Chain A
């Protein structure tokens, strides 16, 4: 069964609206990540978290907030959605220690901002 799940799987939002993407993992991993993927490109890191109640900025944090209320849950929040935030968003988790560089991904959320 899937260890990293995301909801919703797809969403249509209006410009200026608020969007919340949710991620849940049952891997018992400490680290969680949010990436965005644009067509034909690799993944870019938005926010990540080492531990519950703490988040860190990634490479492209502008326009996004993150929340990690528990070890299992990690949310990505777009307070004022914009057209440029249309993309596929992936959540991932990884363990601490020697395998911290191996990440386990969710199925993705396809976001369309109109």
Chain B
């Protein structure tokens, strides 16, 4: 069974700061790793995913994530955040042979002006 751990429940930064949201996973086989964003009162929206190849994947709005097999991690980063990036971010993992996704508990990002 896949598991996903997001160690930070809340992260607060100022506009223009860089940010890294942490995600660690547990699974022995080939997996897909994804990040989703949930703005207040809305459904989740897909941001980016990794399966193979370049360990750094680019998403929308300047987000990127880096896969590390040695650390079992898939951290999300942004170089300069905007107030509109305030949301809850979910890391997710799925095995490459099925459509089931397992979500972490989420990290609430607050961007102060």
Same assembly: yes
Which residues of B are found within 8 Å of A31, using beta-carbon distances? 99
Does A4 touch B at the CB level, under 8 Å? yes
Which residues of A are found within 8 Å of B66, using beta-carbon distances? none
Contacts A31-B99, A103-B101 given: A90-B44 contact, CB under 8 Å?
A: yes
8 Å CB interface, A20-74 against B: 31, 40-43, 45, 48
Which residues of A are found within 8 Å of B99, using beta-carbon distances? 31, 48, 94, 96, 100-101
From A9, which residue of chain B is reached at the shortest CB distance? B41
8 Å CB interface, B38-62 against A: 41-46, 49
Sample (17) of A-B pairs whose CB atoms are under 8 Å apart:
A31-B99, A41-B105, A43-B90, A90-B44, A92-B43, A92-B44, A100-B99, A101-B94, A101-B96, A102-B34, A102-B46, A103-B46, A104-B46, A105-B43, A105-B45, A107-B41, A108-B41
Q: How many B residues have CB within 8 A of the partner chain?
A: 22
From B49, which residue of chain A is reached at the shortest CB distance? A102
Give the residue among A42, A90, A102, A106 with the most B Cβ atoms within 10 A. Answer: A42
From B48, which residue of chain A is reached at the shortest CB distance? A102
- Whether B44 pairs with A43 at a CB distance below 8 angstroms is yes
Contacts A100-B99, A101-B34 given: A42-B46 contact, CB under 8 Å?
A: no
- Interface membership of chain B positions 65-98, coded 1 if the CB is closer than 8 angstroms to chain A and 0 otherwise: 0000000000000000000000000100010101
From A108, which residue of chain B is reached at the shortest CB distance? B43
Given contacts A101-B49, A102-B34, 5 further A-B contacts (CB under 8 A): A90-B44, A101-B32, A101-B94, A101-B96, A106-B43
Shortest beta-carbon contacts, A-B, top 8: A105-B43, A42-B103, A100-B99, A101-B94, A101-B32, A105-B44, A42-B105, A43-B103
From B33, which residue of chain A is reached at the shortest CB distance? A101
Complex Cα gap A92–B46 (Å)? 11
Shortest beta-carbon distance from B1 to chain A in Å? 10
